[in-house]
Amino acid sequence: MKFRVDRDAFADAVTWTARALPARPAVPVLAGMRLEVADTASDTLRLSGFDYEVSAQASVDVHAEEAGSVLVPGRLLAEIVRTLPPHPVEFHVEGSRALLTCGNARFTLLTLPLEDYPTLPAMPRTIGSAPADVFATAVRQVLPSTSRDDTLPMLTGVHLTFRGDTILLAATDRYRIAVREMWWKPEEVDIDTSALVPARTLGDFSRSLTGGNVDIALSTSDSRGAGEGMIGFEHDGKRTTTRLIDSDFVSYESRFPTEFAAQADVPVAPLAEAVKRVALVADRSTPVRLSFTSSEVVLEAGSGDDAQALEALEVNFEGEPMRIAFNPQYFLDGLTNVETERAFLRFVAPTRPAVITGTPAKEGGKPDFRYLVMPLRLA
């Protein structure tokens, strides 16, 4: 195997693929990255990494002189390309050694047994595509609400519902629920299916998204056949597949209250900053208290002998005056992920969940992003 490649393109592909490599490989070969030039005519190098759950595959255009494939230590390759000087990279394999030359820098890598390397799962059937930047934003919005506690696998995932031309992304960790609705272009207009995707993989993938479209491929256990229970994303020559979390998701829609006793129309950035300031005196578990009256909200934190903070902010408020307390981080995770300049806060009672939404694009429309958060009990 022998090829020449542009340094930046190569570095980008290697770094991206290396992220899928396990830090503690179950078997040593999984720490390897597979490089493959299928044939010299297509001039494409395919890089892949796999840890039995998640697979990553990137392609990059190269000038191929000799086809072949090789397995090299992945982290090492990633470390090497990060520091390469700005010159074209030459890569070729001689026996059990891979030689990498770039300008004056030369590296020799010992190859790993390629025949032991597990076969990567096949990409499932594409079910549609979504605008990459919107998808990345949507993932970012719901991601903070996923749980990092592995004892309940269901809560560590983001639930994707594909229904007609909308995707619903939802996540919860029992204390809050984040739901985002977005438009996409399905292959079949009457599609109605869902998938529970591990949050970490989805987050990693969406961070690398830039412009263009992301193709979504899914096979769930009801569509019998190869590669059951798997979702794949493809964007810009990079594709990731991951096993789905095999569990039902909570039916979150019914948890959102439909009738509210009060509603506040607040400016997002000023309120978020005020909460952050006031929360400085509150440690993780103590609440920030919000008292709404008709024209303003008073934020307070700390009490008794501890440090205290207080700040008032002008808001539009309708309904009964409301005194309600939140975990500051949970509150901020909702508020700061609203995309519009102003947000609506809706309340039922101080002991009932509150809902944060953006202002809908058109009057009376449905907001894209909804965030339900449980209040803390006031002392």
Partner 1 sequence: MSVFDTLVGQDTVVQRLRAAVRAADNLLSGGDGTGMTHAWLFTGPPGAGRAQAARAFAAALQCTHGGCGECASCHQVLAGTHPDVLYVRPSGLSFGVEQTRELVVRAASSPTGGRFRVVLFEDADRATEAASNALLKAIEEPAPRTVWLLCTPTAHDLLVTIRSRCRLVNLRTPSTEAIIDALVTRDGIDRDRAVAAARAAAGHLERARQLATDETARARREEVLTIPARLDSLGACVHAAARLYEIAEADAKESTAALDEQEKADLKAAFGEGATGKGVAKAVRGAAGALKELEERQKRRATRIKRDAYDTFLMDLVAFYRDVLAIQLGASVELSTADRDADLRRVARSSTPEATLRRIDAIMECRRRINANVHPQIAMEAMTAALYLG
Q: Which positions touch partner 1 (CB under 8 A)?
A: 23-25, 27-32, 50, 52, 72-73, 75-80, 83, 100, 105-110, 112-113, 115-119, 121-122, 153, 221, 225-230, 243, 246
Tokens of 57: 């595959």
Closest approach of partner 1 to the CB of residue 72, in Å: 8
Helix (H) or strand (E) run with residue 204 in it:
helix 199-207
Q: Which is nearer to partner 1, 156 or 337 (CB)?
A: 156
Closest approach of partner 1 to the CB of residue 227, in Å: 6
Closest approach of partner 1 to the CB of residue 219, in Å: 9
Q: Which of 134, 111, 121, 107 is nearest to 51 (CA)?
A: 121
Q: Which is nearer to partner 1, 119 or 251 (CB)?
A: 119
Q: Which of 273, 280, 278 is nearest to 289 (CA)?
A: 278
Q: Which is nearer to partner 1, 213 or 241 (CB)?
A: 241
Closest approach of partner 1 to the CB of residue 118, in Å: 4
Closest approach of partner 1 to the CB of residue 222, in Å: 11
Q: Which is nearer to partner 1, 52 or 183 (CB)?
A: 52
Closest approach of partner 1 to the CB of residue 243, in Å: 5
Q: Which is nearer to partner 1, 108 or 285 (CB)?
A: 108
Q: Which is nearer to partner 1, 89 or 322 (CB)?
A: 89
